[in-house]
Structure formats: C-alpha cells, structure tokens
Amino acid sequence: HAKALGGSRIEHFALHQRHELGRRMALESHLRRALERGELYLQYQPKIDLRRGTLAGFEALLRWQHPEYGIVSPDEFIPIAEETGLIVPIGEWIVGTAIRQMAAWREEGLPEVPVAVNLSARQFLQGDVVATIEHLLQGAGLGADALELELTESVSMADPERSLAIMHQLKKLGVTLSIDDFGTGYSSFSYLKRLPIDKLKIDKSFIHDMVHSADSRAIVGAIVAMAHRLNLRVVAEGVELAAQAGALRDSGCDQAQGFLYARPLDAFDAGLYLAVRPERNHLLRPSAM
C-alpha cells in the first residue's frame, strides 16, 4: 500500500465508525423484537446488611441474550432502548417480572426481601409509571414496601418539576426510592434534601478507590455521615474486597452489594440463595455462591 499513514488512519477510523454505526443499527432493530422473542431476562444481585451480615434484598439487573451477539451489556443497549422509546414497554416488563418473581418466591414459602428495580429517565418521565406500578403490585398481591426503585441523578435533572411530582406519588404509594451511582453526577446534598428519597447508593468508582486512596475513604465516610444526618440509608455498590467491606462497616454504611458477596444470579439461583437465607455473617464466608 502506497498510502500515507495519515490517510490509512482516517480510512481506518471511518471504517471503525461505520462498523459502530452498523452494530448500533442492528442492535436497535433486534432490540425491537427481543422482548417477544424471550431474549430478555433478569438477574438478581444480593444486597447485604453490613451490621448483621444478612441478606437485605436484591437488585434486579436486565440481561439480553441474543442468538448471534451473545450477551449484550446493558450499558450498551439501555441507551438504545432509551433513545428509541423501547425502554417504556421493556421497563414495564422489567417491573412486572421482578414483581411476579417476588410473588413466586412468596408462593414457595421463601423469605420475603425487597427487590430494587432500575428506572431510566425516559421510563420514569413517560407513560404512567405510578399507575403501572400500583396495578402490577396489586395484581401480585404485594405491598409497595416490597419494591425499591433506583433512579440516577440524571432522572431528576431531565425534568425537575415533573420528576419531583412523580417521586412524591411513588412515596405516597409506599415504594422505597434510592439515588443510584451517587457521586458521579452534579447534585448537591441541598438539592437531594428536597427529594423524597430513602437511600443513596454510592457509585462503585469510589468503592474501588477506597483501597488505595485515603481521599476516597474520606469521601465515602463523609457521604455516609451526611446521608445519615439527612435520614437516608446508604448502600455501597461494587464491593469486591473484604478490606472495602471492613472500611465501609467502620464508616457506618448500611448495606453493601458486590462480587465479594455474590454476582448477579439467575432467578433460580437467587431462589436458592433465599432458601439458604444467609443469616450468618457473610464476611466469614464471602462469595457463598
């Protein structure tokens, strides 16, 4: 090839872009049929009560198993679902599936723990989330305290007035509200104080850095202290090491979630996890599953 390096680089870049765009368009059209084809399912990741070492609940995480692409990461397809509006029917399916799963576990006589569901901005602001959730809970015969909703700061930023109103309606219903990925956005504590929320989930980037950064440990400690003063519970996400769990416990953090305790589990395995109901201190037997 006689082409200058610069030229081939540009060509390479253009090819790469076209490839990305091609994949994105393909994913979009496949995502339109993923639901009806049964390619979507939920996994459930345990959340642990840090003081007692017991199971505090699960977070439901969406998975897409495509016949050709394999497992597509939610970080890749949730934004596509958001942009296309597909998140509305998919989101309804997610909430319904999590609620029906809780009802099924109760039927089996398993202990009842709350399940948290992630809601993205569009799903939150479009459609009638409150009526949908109320209807789904009623249909399953579950109280609203069974359900927790995780919202990112971007949700309330998109349309502050409307989201505040919706949050108040959800609170009135009795659902637990938490702010996800806390620390990565721009919201101040004084802004958060105006929101009717119950919990903060500290983003995993801070938890990751705790091990080697005294600053990160100080930030996490300050978040926990401030949150408690505002009557908010605190959850740490992405806990992978016993040292992190120890530091979090020292800081007074309420709950922890991460690979140290368990990976996200298929519904069947989550049921087994519930059945053995880990009452003993998880730190003595990390990665039980």
Binding site for ligand C2E (CB under 6 A): 45, 61-62, 73-75, 78, 94, 118-120, 150, 180-181, 204, 237-240, 258-259, 264
Interhelix angle for 74-84 vs 87-107, to 10°?
Answer: 120
What is the Cα–Cα distance from 271 to 107, expressed in whole angstroms?
12
Q: What does DSSP say about strands 40-49 and 255-257: parallel, antiparallel, or unpaired?
A: antiparallel
Residues that bind Mg ion (CB under 5 A): 118, 150, 180-181, 237
Closest residue to Mg ion in the complex (CB): 150
Q: Which CB atom, from 240 or from 269, has the smaller least distance to ligand C2E?
A: 240
Q: Which CB atom, from 11 or from 266, has the smaller least distance to ligand C2E?
A: 266
- 255 forms bridges with which residues in the sheet? 49, 235
Q: What region does 109 belong to: left with phi over 0, alpha with psi -120 to 50, or beta?
A: left
Total Cβ atoms within 10 A of residue 14: 10
Q: From the CB of 212, what's the least distance to ligand C2E, in Å?
A: 16
What is the Cα–Cα distance from 43 to 66, expressed in whole angstroms?
16
| Angle of CA points 148, 152, 153, to nearest 5° | 130
Q: From the CB of 135, what's the least distance to Mg ion, in Å?
A: 23
What is the Cα–Cα distance from 247 to 70, expressed in whole angstroms?
37
Q: Which CB atom, from 48 or from 239, has the smaller least distance to ligand C2E?
A: 239
CA 219, distance to chain mean position in Å, is 22
Q: Which CB atom, from 154 or from 169, has the smaller least distance to ligand C2E?
A: 154
Q: Which CB atom, from 13 or from 211, has the smaller least distance to ligand C2E?
A: 211
Q: What are phi and psi of 120, to 5 degrees?
A: -90, 165
Q: Which CB atom, from 86 or from 117, has the smaller least distance to Mg ion?
A: 117
Element (H, E) at 220: helix 214-229
